[in-house]
Chains A and B, each alone.
Chain A
Amino acid sequence: MTTTDLGLTIRRQSATPASGTNIRRDHSTPALEISKLVDIDLCIGCKACEVACKEWNDLQVEETHLFSGYQSHPDLTPHTWDLMRFNEVELAGGALAWLIRKDSCLHCEEPGCLLACPAPGAVIQYENGIVDFNQDACIGCQYCVSGCPFDIPRFDTVTKKVYKCTLCIDRVSTGLEPACVKACPTGAIRFGTKEDMLAYGLEKVEKLKARGFSEAMLYDPVGVGGLHMMYVVPRGEILEQYGLPVDPTVTAPTSFPSLIGALRKVGATASWAGLLAAAVYFLKTGKRYPPPEEEAVAAAYEKAPHG
């Protein structure tokens, strides 16, 4: 296996223009893209993925408190990159739906975090689709936190850096599946090429529809260019109740990355044009000296209102 096969060449880095590094022969063919897929239908909420994530990434266990039914912790933290979210929802007609979702970084094709980041190389996207944080380069501004439409990155107040799921890039780089995938006892979390995961997901959606989940869907929103961790969602009609935004966007012309990109162009152009204009204006008009003192003083007194 080579790094080309695993797609571990850098596709782009934050705050670094023209940051792709791929010069390999097969550059014209799309790189092998990988993806996780969470089949919510198969998830039993056992939290094995949470534990495996903690173990593999050597993240400290955090104390929790009793706050609701089955969820282990209230929220993601710098030390908790994977969290099973439990949500009990009353459906129309009074039936109960127990929504369980593995919440962790979705590794967007167009990552809002990367596009918002001002620190060169602090967010890196690889050819295979993995979006990873490089804490060495992170400056702790937390623009990625605001830039993420899924509320994933978490700021650590001790190190002043942000953290999130790496898609177990250290495992993937040696040909292994991510820890959460390995630990999942029901096969609800799958891992493979994006192509294979799309095929599995679309087939599963059809099966769910045949079983009566008429709004079942594959969650892979175009507004972020698609995901490298997709969901099969049985009840697509209540997407927001799962905690998933219906239409997350970072690619639209009105979205923040596009607006700030346009503003940068305007700002850079205006800055240079302004300095150039000042130079030209100086060449044209030069300096304006006051006249000799007697003349200037006389003129000043002429201006005085009479009477």
Chain B
Amino acid sequence: MAEIVTAEELAREQEPRLITRHTFGVRVVHWWTTLTFLYLILSGFALGYPRMAWLLDVMGGGQSVRFVHPWVGVGFTVGLVFMFAMWLPSMRFHSVDRHWFRNLGEYVRTGHTDTDTDKFNGGQKAYYWFSVINGLVLLITGIPLWLPDLLPREWNLAARFSHHVFFLMAAGFLVVHVYLSTARFPGTFRSMTSGTVSRAWAAFHHPRWFRRVDAGREHEGAD
């Protein structure tokens, strides 16, 4: 006699089996830096570009933005420190990353390489190190803009110029980061919301990490 299966049970059966990629704490840190950085970028555009100055009004007025921006910068830096620490073990470059970078062209064209990628691929590791260093430079060059009495005028002007350059780089790479993790690769964004990915996604994009998790050698989602 055939087993009776309800529609609900059938749907659950067909749902891809999931594994945890980012734990709750990791996701909190990630979204903390996301929100603070988004504020910093928008207010940065508002302060740096006369044609974007209308954003100052939208964001509570120029005086508020001038007051809040540095403090949000401090908040972002705190998030960045946690981010640096929590991902450092996974972000060290290994020999497989060289293979990934050699096949960067293929990755751009097809969205895939046959690299035996670990939890993060070469590009993700590069973005991590870029973000850490860039965040540090933005902090250092931001201090003279926050407290202009500390340094001579010429240093303040140089700091403002550098702050702008590194801000543009950060904004640029952020577009790439968001694009790749949302539109380009379906199934990726959920790793930062529910924290899970499908087994197919993990095996396809991060085979080396998948095998470890699959064999139970790594606690799911541990960093």
Contacts and interface: CB of A to CB of B under 8 A. Distances in A.
Interface of A: 15-17, 118-120, 137-143, 145-148, 151, 160, 256, 259-260, 263-264, 266-268, 270-271, 274-275, 278, 281-282, 285, 287-293, 295-297, 299-301, 303-305
Contacts, number: 142
A274 B203 contact: no
B50 interface: yes
A150 B67 CA distance: 26
B14 to A, nearest CB: 11
Residue from the set A15, A147, A266, A304 with the largest chain B CB neighbour count within 10 Å: A15
Residue from the set B17, B157, B187 with the largest chain A CB neighbour count within 10 Å: B157
B161 interface: yes
Interface residues of B, number: 53
A305 B118 CA distance: 13
B114 interface: yes
B217 to A, nearest CB: 12
Given A146-B153, A146-B156, A292-B200, A140 B50 contact: no
Contact of B49 (A141, A267, A281): A267
Interface of B: 16-17, 47-51, 53, 56, 61-63, 65-67, 109-112, 114, 116, 145, 148, 153, 156-157, 160-161, 164-165, 168, 171-172, 175-176, 179, 183-187, 198-201, 203-205, 207-208, 210-211, 214
6 contacts: A285-B110, A290-B198, A296-B200, A296-B203, A297-B203, A303-B207
A264 B49 contact: yes
Nearest to A19: B50
A278 B49 contact: no
Contacts of A264: 48-49
10 closest cross-chain pairs (CB), A and B: A288-B111, A139-B62, A300-B207, A290-B204, A296-B203, A146-B156, A300-B203, A15-B50, A293-B200, A303-B116
B114 A278 contact: no
A278 B153 contact: no
Contacts of A271: 168, 171-172
A293 B203 contact: yes
B184 A288 contact: yes
Given A160-B63, A274-B175, A120 B157 contact: no
A260 B164 contact: yes
Given A140-B66, A142-B148, A293-B17, A263 B161 contact: yes
A301 B201 contact: no
B140 to A, nearest CB: 17
Nearest to B159: A146
Given A287-B185, A290-B187, A139 B156 contact: no
Contacts of A143: 145, 148, 160
Nearest to B201: A290
B66 A17 contact: no
Residue from the set B56, B183, B204, B205 with the largest chain A CB neighbour count within 10 Å: B204
Contacts of A120: 50, 53
A17 B201 CA distance: 49
A267 B164 contact: yes
A151 B153 contact: yes
A92 B168 CA distance: 52
Contacts of B49: 264, 267-268
Given A268-B51, A290-B198, 7 more contacts: A145-B148, A256-B161, A290-B205, A300-B203, A301-B207, A303-B207, A304-B207
A157 B81 CA distance: 32
